């Protein structure tokens, strides 16, 4: 089924269970792409809960030392409520870079930095199109590969969903289901300590991190989720920036479907 629909349905069942028992966990199988894992974690943080979320995906990333894609980019996310006006939100792919960045580079005819990907023959490449035919590399070498395996086990093996090359494509072979798997583990902060005390402690840690000595040329130390919080505020105020390639793609799609293409003026 649709990943976002399944994820929201399961999360809706986990919230009351975590509130009653302190912790609740679930796996999802026979699913599809569920969007940004951090979105669901943010919903938990708004309820003073902590969610760990993982998902596997169609093969796009080679295991450390491998010449072909086996894992998806296998993201892992967690979100922590704070008293800062924004949560600490960790949301990262286990690949060295999001595959979306390579797709964007290919659309715009740009090259990609060395060390991001290999081509279909398993050789290093800076050609974005060749990279899409090959595989993206893991973050931090063998460590990223280990994290990807952890995510694949929780999301795919444990859930009963497809694993590795068994996962179907989101873009082609529509006669074959994707069977993506997800994993959620939800903790209710109040079951462990007073919520206000937790926020005092995490806020103090954030202040210590941001107040620590900076390297030369660094203006500010940021914590995960802080920059995204600022950009979200800018987007709400100024509008969302869209590159020309994506804009042209949207315009062409609207023409094909005979839908009017209108952009709201920025305020």
Residue 244: the pLDDT is 87
Contacts of 50 (CB under 8 A, 6+ apart): 41, 44, 78, 79, 80, 81, 186, 187, 189
Residue 187: the pLDDT is 99
Mean pLDDT of 56-66: 97
CA 182, CA 202: separation in Å to the nearest integer?
28
Q: Is 98 within 8 Å of 73 (Cβ atoms)?
A: yes
CA 60, CA 41: separation in Å to the nearest integer?
24
Tell me the pLDDT tens digit for each residue of 121-170.
999 999 999 999 999 999 999 999 999 999 999 999 999 999 999 999 98
CA 130, CA 109: separation in Å to the nearest integer?
12
pTM of this prediction? 0.91
What residue spans define the domains of the chain? 3-96+137-193
Mean pLDDT of 5-26: 99
As to burial, measured by CB atoms within 10 angstroms (0-12 exposed, 13-18 middle, 19+ buried), residue 118 is buried
Residue 95: the pLDDT is 98
Residue 180: the pLDDT is 98
- Tally the residues of the chain: 267
CA 66, CA 42: separation in Å to the nearest integer?
34
- How distant, in Å, are the alpha carbons of 175, 176, 228 from that of 171? 11, 11, 28
Domain 3-96+137-193 listed as CATH 3.40.50.1000: no
Which segment of 140-144, 162-166, 176-180, 262-266 scores lowest on mean pLDDT? Answer: 262-266
Would the pLDDT of 267 be above 60? no
Going by C-alpha positions, the residue among 77, 70, 68, 62 that lies closest to residue 139 is 62
Would the pLDDT of 41 be above 80? yes
Tell me the pLDDT tens digit for each residue of 107-124.
989 999 999 999 999 999
Tell me the pLDDT tens digit for each residue of 182-207.
999 999 999 999 999 999 999 999 99
| Sign of the alpha-carbon torsion through 7, 95, 202, 22 | positive
Would the pLDDT of 87 be above 80? yes
């Amino acid at each position: 089924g649709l990943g976002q629909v399944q994820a929201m349905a399961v999360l809706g069942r986990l919230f009351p269970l975590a509130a009653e028992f302190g912790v609740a966990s679930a796996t999802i199988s026979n699913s599809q792409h569920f969007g940004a894992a951090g979105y669901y974690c943010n919903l938990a943080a708004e309820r003073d809960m902590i969610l760990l979320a993982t998902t596997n995906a169609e093969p796009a990333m080679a295991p450390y030392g491998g010449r072909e894609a086996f894992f998806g980019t296998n993201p892992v996310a967690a979100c922590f409520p704070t008293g800062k006006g924004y949560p600490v939100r960790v949301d990262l792919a286990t690949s060295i870079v999001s595959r979306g960045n390579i797709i964007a580079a290919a659309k715009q005819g740009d090259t990609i930095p060395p060390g991001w990907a290999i081509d279909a023959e398993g050789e290093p490449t800076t050609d974005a199109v060749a990279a899409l035919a090959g595989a993206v590399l893991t973050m931090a070498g063998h460590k990223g590969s280990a994290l990807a395996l952890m995510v694949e086990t929780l999301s795919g093996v444990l859930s009963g969903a497809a694993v590795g090359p068994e996962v179907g494509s989101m873009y082609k072979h529509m006669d074959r289901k994707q069977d993506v798997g997800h994993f959620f583990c939800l903790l209710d902060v109040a079951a462990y300590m007073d919520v206000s005390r937790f926020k005092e402690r995490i806020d103090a840690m954030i202040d210590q991190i941001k107040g620590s000595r900076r390297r030369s040329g660094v203006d500010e130390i940021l914590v995960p989720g802080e920059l995204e919080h600022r950009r979200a505020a800018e987007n709400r105020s100024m509008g969302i920036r869209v590159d020309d390639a994506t804009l042209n793609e949207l315009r062409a799609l609207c023409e094909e479907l005979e839908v009017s293409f209108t952009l709201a003026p920025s305020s």
